[in-house]
Structures are given as structure tokens and as C-alpha cells.
């Protein structure tokens, strides 16, 4: 019975991995700011992993951290999403992510929690069969920042198309 069960499990794993549409990737950002002679370097690293259920639907999660060299500000984030690709071509796919995001920001004296729910449109340029250049532009939805020191909350909702909501990344498709 054990051999039969192990054979069935092995067959299922081979079948799933043969048709697996897993992708990994993410984004990396480094910026330098000079304000009145004070130089600050900010960094952000957000790896991502996802699974394509079929040609149109995928689900994944982005998780990462960010920080600054001056002021000791740091943050961690997790952002699960569901992706619908509505336009396919040989080299370009246009999609929209529906996501729920959580970020915790902290430094020496302050900490805050940020929540977001919304849609992020994006474009994937298929450089090869296995490598894609991906960008997200904008955010449509709701976000809230809660200062944990004084319990103050600030909520925003609507369409945000400024340059702060523009991300670039690379995906490796398996």
C-alpha cells in the first residue's frame, strides 16, 4: 500500500510540475537624495512569486522591505494579488492586479501600518519565452495609514497616476 501511495504522489507531482506556470521576479530600487547638504540613500527590494492558472488568470504575492540610511526608517510589506490578463500578443501582455497590501513602517520613534485594497494596471513585455519585463502604472482603490503612536488614521481613495506608483521589474517564467 505504501508503494502504491508513493507512486500516486510522485505521479501527481510530476504532472503538476510538468505543467507548472510558476514565475518569480520582483523589483529593486535605490535612490539618493540631497537635502540641504544631507545625503540620504533609500533602497527597496520587493521579490515576487506567482502561479499562472491559465492564460488569463494568475495569483501571487509580493513581499519585501525598504529603508533609508539617514533617520533609520525601515518598512516591511506583503501584497497578495490576483491578476487578470485581458490583452495578449506575442510580445506584450496587458493585465490588471487586484490586490490587498499591508506595510509596516518603523524607525527609532515612530511606527505606522498602511493598508491598501485596489487595482493596479500593468504591462508585461515578453523578452524571451522565459523572461519578461513588467511594469505597473498607477493605483485605483483605497489606502489607509494608521500611526500606531497616536492612533491617528488617514484614508485616501481614488485614482493615483503619479510617478510614485510606477514600478519596473523582471519575471523569470518556469
Residue 47's pLDDT is what?
95
Rounded Cα distance, 98 and 80, in Å: 9
Write b or e for each residue in 59-93: b if 16 or more Cβ atoms lie within 10 A of its Cβ, otherwise e. ebebbbebbbeeeebebebebbbebebeeeeeeeb
Determine the 3-state secondary structure of 163 from DSSP: helix
Q: Average pLDDT of 110-125?
A: 93
Q: Are 169 and 47 in contact (CB under 8 A)?
A: no
Rounded Cα distance, 89 and 116, in Å: 31
pLDDT in tens, 47-60: 999 999 999 999 99
Give the start-to-end residue ranges of the domains of the chain: 2-173
Q: How many residues does the chain have?
A: 174
Q: Any residues with CB less than 8 A from the CB of 89 and at least 6 apart, and which?
A: none
Class of 2-173 per CATH? mainly beta
Q: Are 112 and 147 in contact (CB under 8 A)?
A: yes
DSSP 19: T
Residue 13's pLDDT is what?
44
1 has pLDDT over 70? no
pLDDT in tens, 142-166: 999 898 888 888 998 998 887 767 8
Q: How confident is the model at residue 11 (pLDDT cuts 50, 70, 90)?
A: very low
Rounded Cα distance, 101 and 158, in Å: 16
Q: How confident is the model at residue 25 (pLDDT cuts 50, 70, 90)?
A: very high
Q: How confident is the model at residue 15 (pLDDT cuts 50, 70, 90)?
A: very low
16 has pLDDT over 70? no
Rounded Cα distance, 100 and 62, in Å: 11
Determine the 3-state secondary structure of 15 from DSSP: helix
pLDDT in tens, 121-144: 999 999 998 999 999 988 999 999
Amino acid at each position: 500500500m505504501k508503494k502504491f501511495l508513493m507512486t500516486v504522489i510522485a505521479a501527481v507531482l510530476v504532472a503538476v510540475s510538468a505543467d507548472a506556470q510558476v514565475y518569480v521576479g520582483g523589483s529593486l530600487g535605490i535612490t539618493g537624495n540631497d537635502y540641504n547638504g544631507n545625503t540620504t540613500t533609500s533602497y527597496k527590494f520587493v521579490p515576487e512569486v506567482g502561479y499562472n492558472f491559465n492564460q488569463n488568470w494568475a495569483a501571487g504575492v509580493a513581499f519585501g522591505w525598504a529603508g533609508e540610511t539617514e533617520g533609520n526608517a525601515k518598512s516591511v510589506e506583503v501584497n497578495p494579488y490576483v491578476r487578470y490578463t485581458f490583452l495578449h500578443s506575442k510580445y506584450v501582455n496587458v493585465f490588471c492586479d487586484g490586490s490587498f497590501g499591508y506595510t509596516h513602517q518603523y524607525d527609532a520613534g515612530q511606527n505606522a501600518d498602511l493598508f491598501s485594497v485596489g487595482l493596479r494596471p500593468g504591462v508585461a513585455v515578453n523578452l524571451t519565452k522565459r523572461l519578461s519585463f513588467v511594469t505597473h502604472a498607477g493605483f485605483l482603490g483605497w489606502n489607509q495609514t494608521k500611526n500606531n503612536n497616536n492612533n491617528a488614521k488617514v484614508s485616501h481613495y481614488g485614482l493615483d497616476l503619479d510617478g510614485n506608483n510606477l514600478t519596473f521589474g523582471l519575471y523569470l517564467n518556469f
